[in-house]
Amino acid sequence: MATPSPSVPSDTGQAVLLLRLAGPLQSWGDRSAFNRRDTRPEPTKSGIIGLLAAAEGRPRGESVADLTALRLGVRVDQAGRLLRDYHTVSDYRGGPLPQAGVSAKGVQKPTSPPKFTHVTTRFYLEDAVFVAGLAGPRDLLERLDSAVRRPAFPLALGRRSCVPTQPVSLGLREGSLRTVLANEPWQVPARAQRRGPRSVDLRVVLEGQEALEGQNVPDGQNVEEDLAYDVPVNFDPRARAFTSRRIQRTWLSVPTAATASATKNDPDVDSGHDPFALLGW
């Protein structure tokens, strides 16, 4: 894994917290239906805010206004593959499944004719890697950094079944959100970068002022403006609500590990098992 930039001292009021969101499976939905659960191609703000709230141990009904005020940028280091998972649902007692509608008394009726199995579909991202940057007050981000490293509740990549790999927190950085995401090394395994170029063009989703800064993008790439309806107002299951934010999808040129320091003898390079290491590949 490429070595992250060193942490910066606490001498300014603003900072950027970087999170590495990677794992076997991720799922970042912005719509929910019983028989179909989609995933966005990159993490949603509601999913990341939920991860931070879980790390701090916040109850579902507690305000997250301080977290939603943070400006978010998400870099797509590895898009992954879309996985369609097939599910069936049955009543363990052997009875027919209830209808979606309810009676005048608020009780669900059984299906007619009786239906004993319901097919549902779930979508996931396989082997995806993202770098999320949250910009805001340094004292809040320092607290969140500590919480992510020692979370109160288990962390998840969108759904509770999607467990992240380590490390999740890459620490705090100084600078604008766009600049920090552009300077942070590519977060795919270093051995996959050694024969590649010294920089790579990566897709990034920005919000707030950073989305309006510098429109210089790599040649041949475009910039898209959009609205995302993924800002949580409340996570309480009885009063869950979301609002929108303005985002920009653009591209950044990011450094890779394809440098002289990226060798098998460098202690800072990912030291995971490589079956071709003895051959000098």
User: Tell me: the pLDDT tens digits for 41-86?
Assistant: 999 999 999 999 999 999 988 999 999 999 999 999 999 999 998 8
Average of per-residue pLDDT across 171-176: 95
Looking at per-residue pLDDT, the higher value among 198 and 130 belongs to 130
Q: Is the pLDDT of residue 263 over 50?
A: no
Helix (H, G, I), strand (E, B) or coil at 147: helix
Work out the burial of residue 248: count CB atoms within 10 Å of its CB; fewer than 13 is exposed, 13-18 middle, 19 or more buried: buried
Q: What percentage of residues in the chain have a pLDDT greater than 90?
A: 51
Looking at residue 117, its pLDDT comes to: 84
* Phi-psi label, residue 127: left if phi above 0, alpha if psi -120 to 50, beta otherwise: left
Q: How far is CA 191 from CA 1, 112, 130, 279, 280, in A?
A: 8, 58, 18, 14, 12
Query: Does residue 183 surpass a pLDDT of 70?
Result: yes
Q: Per-residue pLDDT for 29 more than 80? A: yes
Give the pair of three-digit tokens for residue 125. Answer: 């991202």
Q: How high is the pLDDT of residue 196?
A: 66
Q: Where is average pLDDT lowest: 66-70, 147-151, 258-262?
A: 258-262
- The token pair that represents 141 in the structure block: 């981000």
Supply the DSSP string of 75-125, one letter for each residue. EEEE--EEEEEEEEE--TTSPPPEEEEE-TTS-EEEPSS----EEEEEEEE
113 has pLDDT over 90:
no
pLDDT score at 179: 93
Q: What is the mean pLDDT of the chain?
A: 82
Assign 237 a pLDDT band (cuts: 50, 70, 90): confident
Q: Say what the pLDDT of residue 168 is.
A: 96
**190 CB neighbour count, 10 Å cutoff:** 26
Residue 131, pLDDT score? 97
Q: What number is the average pLDDT over the span 143-164?
A: 96
- With a cut of 60, say whether residue 215 has pLDDT above it: no
Q: DSSP H helical segments within the chain, as ranges?
A: 45-56, 65-68, 138-149, 177-183
* Mean pLDDT, residues 2-18: 63
Q: Does position 104 have pLDDT exceeding 90, yes or no?
A: no
Residues 180, 173 contacting (CB under 8 angstroms): yes
Q: Which of 242, 243, 209, 205 is nearest to 225 (CA)?
A: 205
**Which residue, among 40, 8, 48, 13, has the nearest Cα to 183 in the 3D structure?**
8
Predicted TM-score of the model (pTM): 0.78
Does pLDDT of 6 surpass 50?
Answer: no
Please state the rounded mean pLDDT for residues 94-102.
77
Distance from C-alpha of 169 to C-alpha of 71, rounded to nearest angstrom: 17
**Count of residues making up the chain:** 281
Q: Domains of the chain (ranges plus CATH)?
A: 14-80+127-279 (3.30.70.2660), 83-123 (no CATH)
Residue pair 277/190 in contact (Cβ under 8 Å)? The answer is: no
Q: What is the CA radius of gyration of the chain?
A: 21
Q: How much is the pLDDT for 4?
A: 46
Confidence of residue 197 (pLDDT cuts 50, 70, 90): confident
